[in-house]
Structure 1
């Protein structure tokens, strides 16, 4: 099956047109999935205290990699996963961007960006937490902000 994606201006409402040979139950489920925008609210499996949890990606502030474990920082909780950062970067929604070699940042959760000496920036969140954005990734982050991808 072929998929076409067309970028439109932000003032035009987004829509999807499914052109199918036959209306099946799976096509109706796909249409419902799209209409309810479930693709925007992906769940991620992670662990804490030897228990497995499903967290909503939109509630993640940032993901930090330390010693082959990825720590998922939420408002009041920290979970972990063994999935590699590059795998998470590939499957997470577009508001997640690389902020440094070891951090993925959810731009939708950032309250403010503050410049720090040496060309790096600090992203601060509503819960008082924060993470650094390295010079290497700053240009890509600025481009996403200017494109209005959030």
Structure 2
């Protein structure tokens, strides 16, 4: 399926138009997902202290992978998930980008980027936490920031 995106003025109402051969249950679910703007308020199931929590993705600062467990860093809280980083990368909103082999960061929560000797960069968050952006991912991230995609 081809996706077309058109930027419009802030004063205009955002709309989505689905042109399909047949309307089935999956298309109706997609339509409802878009209409309710669920993509803006996505929840992620995590655990902490043997309890399952639903965390709002927009409140996540970064996700760090250590020994097959992904630690979800939020403002003063850390949750865990067994989902792999590549799985999270596929389901999380576009603000989440790969910063290194073991980190996904939420660019909407980054307060500043600081270059570090050696060709890497530090991302500092609103809550005082920070994480490194490796050389491998820095070029792509820098291009997205300059283009205003993030």
Task: Tell me, yes or no, if structure 1 residue 133 matches structure 2 residue 133.
Answer: yes
Using the alignment, how far apart are the partners of 1:23 and 1:87 within structure 2? 28
TM-score by length of 2: 0.86
TM-score by length of 1: 0.86
Q: Summarize the Cα distance change of 1:36–1:122 in structure 2 as closer, same or farther, 3 Å threshold.
A: same
Q: Summarize the Cα distance change of 1:20–1:115 in structure 2 as closer, same or farther, 3 Å threshold.
A: closer
Cα deviation for residue 35 of structure 1 reads 2.7
Cα deviation for residue 6 of structure 1 reads 1.1
Counterpart secondary structure, 1:121 = strand
Task: Tell me, yes or no, if structure 1 residue 5 matches structure 2 residue 14.
Answer: no
Q: Summarize the Cα distance change of 1:130–1:16 in structure 2 as closer, same or farther, 3 Å threshold.
A: same
Q: Summarize the Cα distance change of 1:22–1:70 in structure 2 as closer, same or farther, 3 Å threshold.
A: closer
CA RMSD of aligned residues (A): 2.4
- Which ranges in structure 2 are unaligned for 5 or more consecutive residues? none
**1:1-150 matches, cutoff 5 A:** 3-9=1-7, 11=9, 14-19=14-19, 30-150=30-150
Using the alignment, how far apart are the partners of 1:29 and 1:83 within structure 2? 24
Using the alignment, how far apart are the partners of 1:26 and 1:98 within structure 2? 29
Using the alignment, how far apart are the partners of 2:116 and 2:99 within structure 1? 14
Using the alignment, how far apart are the partners of 1:10 and 1:135 within structure 2? 35
- Which ranges in structure 1 are unaligned for 5 or more consecutive residues? none
The total of aligned residue pairs comes to 148
Cα deviation for residue 28 of structure 1 reads 6.5
Using the alignment, how far apart are the partners of 1:79 and 1:141 within structure 2? 25
Using the alignment, how far apart are the partners of 1:27 and 1:91 within structure 2? 18
Cα deviation for residue 20 of structure 1 reads 6.2
